[in-house]
Amino acid sequence: MNKIYKVVWNASIGTWTVVSELAKSKTRTSSVSSSTESSGQQNEIVSREKRFRPKALVLSIISCLAVSHVWADYTNLYGSIIDTSPTISNGIAIGANTGTPASANDSNGLAVGSRANATAADSTALGNYVNATGVNSTVVGGQVNAAGAQSIAIQNNSDADLVAEGLATGSSFNAIDSASSYSVALGAMSQVVGSTAALALGKNAQVNSGANNATAIGNTATVDTNAVDGVAIGTNSLTSAANSVALGPRSTANVTNSVALGAGSTTTVQTGSSYLTNVAASTTNGVVSVGSTTNTRRIQNVADGAADSDAVTVAQLKDVNNRAVGNTTALGGGAAYNPATDVYTPPSYTITKTDGTTYTAVNTVSGALTNLNNEVVKPLTFAGNTGSSANKLGTTLNITGTGSTAGTYSGNNLKTAVSGNTVNIQMADAPVFSGTVTAGNLTTGGSLNVTGASNLNGGANLNNQKITNLAAGTISASSTDAVNGSQLNTTNQNVTTAQNTANTAVTNAAAAQTTANTAVTNAAAAQTTANTAVTNAAAAQTTADKGLNFSVNGGTADNVKLGETVNFANGTNTTAVYDPATNTYKYNVNDNISLTNARQFNGRQF
């Protein structure tokens, strides 16, 4: 019997299968003869189908082809076709009887076409001059080579040198070398060289050696040597550093852990320290670039940042700018900031001294406060006929009298007179006393007449003049009254007035001190709030310049500046005394007084 083969439908694997002429197609009543494949062989076919589905595609195509001169080999059933050269069992080789025969030289190999070679286990070669030399590899096309295990090469004149689970397709040249496991190259001249689990997709797309897990997508997109986990997407995009991404045509990511985003964007290694915070740059953290040094881009629709490492928006910068302008204006002294030109004009503070001269202008608040403080702490000096007192703001100046007897006091016979920096306390030349005047051993309770005497108790020389204008009173030989009591009362009131005047001066000094203290306090607060500081400092300067006004009997006041000296001088029949131990000024009425228009007393009245 001739060794004739035929093609039948194999329901178990769902494909057309070449079998012996004695084999039958599956029907409801027929069974497989002894010359057909055993159940084990059938299972093997099913197993091969599960492992290598491209064969099902190939056999389906075969059923549509007009195959010439095809026979089954009796001695190697299911193994070869006449004019082919199978060498291992279960291989299938199909080709025309002209030209170079096909070959399937390993287990379960399938070769279809002129000079088609499936030389590795479970490999498939479909087309003219195709070679499937890798385990589980598949070649479809013309002049196609698949040398790596589990590789696929499709298209004419392509070359796929693939390793486990790799894929190469293209019309001119595709390559994944033997060191590039689990990689994919799609597109003319695309390549994956020496990199595992890499993808090159597009014409001339390249993943170079050592760039494991890299991805290059786009015409001439390239992930360069050792750029592990690098990604280049876009025409002529380039990633040459590990863990970096170039996204966009002509984009370049050449800094580790960086991103170049947009057409023509490039990355640059960060150097130096950060502006204002002075943090040293980290060359390992990478950068994100959205442009290049010559072509910059705006980043739009960014939310306002909150954390220290968040990006800020123009709106936030405008707010900072407005605050800067406001704070600068609050400094006063002509301080200004022009945001358009980024020019800052510092303030200028000129402080006037107590002597009327000025300090050299300073440009800082602290400098102005120092100059102001130097003037505020200058003492206010009080001087009498004897002694003086230098009192700073905040200290107390006591002006007291020695009177301690209960009664009514007035200053009717006293007045103050300001002359330059001196306050004179004067007693009336003709004092009027409304009460009893006690002078040594002389007591006058009524009228007092002194006649024929040139001395009073050896101490008062009346110059043969009468003491007049005294209220009438009873004078007896035993009377000790010297003058009318109402006159003494008036004198006491005048003394009281003088005392009150002095107390008023002290009060005014204390008020000035309080005002100055307020100025100092406000000046200190101005360090924090510049506007308030400048205003209060100016107010303090104005207050300090006012000094103290001294008026005599309601007359024109004389102003005494801080730093000037107030002189307490002797008056008629009075002596100004300063006690440094108690820091006290007082006026004493002289033991010997000289009076004009004095009234004389006769001996009888005494």
Q: Over the stretch 154-211, which tens digit does the pLDDT of each residue have?
A: 655 544 454 455 555 544 344 566 677 777 777 777 788 888 888 888 888 999 999 9
Q: For residue 330, is pLDDT > 50?
A: yes
> Residue 473 phi/psi, 5° resolution?
-155, 165
Q: Is-contact 415 429, C-beta < 8 A?
A: no
Q: What pLDDT sits at residue 605?
A: 52
Run of H or E residues at 525: helix 485-526
Helix (H/G/I), strand (E/B), else coil: 62 = helix
- Claim to verify: residue 95 and residue 185 sit in the same structural domain: no
Are residues 140 and 171 both part of a single domain?
Answer: no
User: Does 46 share its domain with 142?
Assistant: yes
User: 550-584 as b/e, with b when 16 or more CB fall inside 10 Å?
Assistant: bebeeeeebebebeeebbbbbbebbbbbbeeeebb
Q: Are residues 139 and 165 in the same domain?
A: no
Is the pLDDT at 34 greater than 80, yes or no? no
The per-residue pLDDT for 443 is 58
> Tell me, what's the pLDDT at 1?
40
Residue 512, in any domain of the structure: no
Please report which confidence band the pLDDT of residue 490 belongs to, taking 50, 70 and 90 as the band edges.
Answer: low
Output the six-digit token pair for 439.
Answer: 């002078």
Q: Please state, in angstroms and rounded to a whole number, the distance separating the CA atoms of residues 76 and 84.
A: 12
Residues 119 and 167 in one domain: no
pLDDT for 260 equals 96
Residue 346: pLDDT above 80?
yes
Residue 48 in any domain: the answer is: yes
Q: Domain limits at 217?
A: 161-270+286-291
* Residue 2 forms part of a structural domain: yes
Looking at residue 213, its pLDDT comes to 95
Better-predicted residue by pLDDT, 104 or 298: 298
What is the pLDDT, as a whole number, of residue 156? 54
Residue 63 and residue 30 share a domain: yes
CA distance 556 to 188: 110
Enter the DSSP assignment of 527.
Answer: T
Q: Do residues 178 and 134 share a domain? A: no
Q: How confident is the model at residue 228 (pLDDT cuts 50, 70, 90)?
A: very high
- Quick one: pLDDT at residue 194? 85
- pLDDT tens, residue by residue, 309-326: 788 888 888 888 888 788
Residue 507 inside a domain? The answer is no
Rounded to two decimals, what is the model's pTM? 0.45
d(CA 376, CA 339) in angstroms, rounded, equals: 38
User: Residue 83, CB half-sphere, CA atoms under 13 Å: how many?
Assistant: 18
Is it the case that residue 73 has pLDDT exceeding 50? no
Answer yes or no: is pLDDT of 452 > 60: no
- Residue at a domain's end among 146, 179, 195: 146
Total of domains in the chain: 2
Q: Please report whether residue 473 resides in a domain.
A: no
User: Would you say how long the chain is, in residues?
Assistant: 606
- Please indicate, yes or no, whether residues 79 and 40 belong to a single structural domain of this protein: yes
**Among residues 520, 513, 518, 519, which one has the least CA distance to residue 547?**
513
Burial status of residue 168 (CB atoms within 10 A of its CB: 0-12, 13-18, 19 or more) = buried
Residue 165 has a pLDDT of: 53
The predicted structure's pLDDT at residue 288: 92
Give pLDDT, residue 31: 37
Rounded to an integer, the average pLDDT of 544-569 is 77
Q: What is the pLDDT of residue 521?
A: 73
Predicted local distance difference test score (pLDDT) of residue 327: 82
CA atoms of 116 and 132, how far apart (whole Å): 8
In a domain, 593, yes or no: no
Whether 7 and 134 map to the same domain: the answer is yes
Asked if residues 116 and 96 have their Cβ atoms less than 8 Å apart, the reply is no
Which of 113, 146, 179 delimits the end of a domain? 146
Of residues 507 and 488, the one with the higher pLDDT is: 507
What CATH number does the domain containing 216 carry?
2.150.10.10
Query: Based on the domain organization, do 131 and 238 belong to the same domain?
Result: no
Last residue of a domain, one of 146, 173, 194: 146
User: What is the structure's pLDDT at 594?
Assistant: 76
Long-range contacts of 59-67 (CB under 8 A, 24+ apart): 59/15, 59/16, 59/17, 60/15, 60/16, 61/126, 62/7, 62/16, 62/94, 62/112, 63/7, 63/16, 67/94
Q: Distance (Å, rounded) from C-alpha 234 to C-alpha 390?
A: 87
Q: How far apart are CA 221 and CA 315, in angstroms?
A: 39
Average pLDDT over residues 274-296: 84
Higher per-residue confidence, 461 vs 184: 184
Least confident range from 145-159, 213-227, 236-250, 534-548: namely 145-159
Higher per-residue confidence, 2 vs 470: 470
- Tokens standing for residue 328: 């600068």
- Amino acid found at 132: A
**242-262: pLDDT as tens digits:** 999 999 999 999 999 999 999
Specify if 324 maps to a domain.
no
Q: Are 19 and 36 in contact (CB under 8 A)?
A: yes
Contacts of 192 (CB under 8 A, 6+ apart): 166, 175, 176, 177, 180, 183, 184, 185, 198, 199, 200, 207
Does 596 map to a domain? no
3-state DSSP assignment of residue 76: helix
What's the pLDDT tens digit per position in 494-527?
668 877 887 887 787 777 778 777 766 765 665 5
Average pLDDT of the segment spanning 471-489: 58
Residues with Cβ within 8 Å of 492's Cβ and at least 6 positions away in sequence, in order, are 403, 407, 408, 409, 410, 433, 435
- Phi, psi (degrees; rounded to nearest 5) at 523: -65, -40
pLDDT at 56 over 80: no
131 and 222 both lie in a single domain: no
Q: Structure tokens of 482?
A: 């010297």
Residue 70: predicted pLDDT: 38
Do 218 and 140 share a structural domain?
no
Q: Return the higher-pLDDT residue of 185 and 46.
A: 185
Half-sphere exposure of 598 (CA within 13 A, CB side): 21
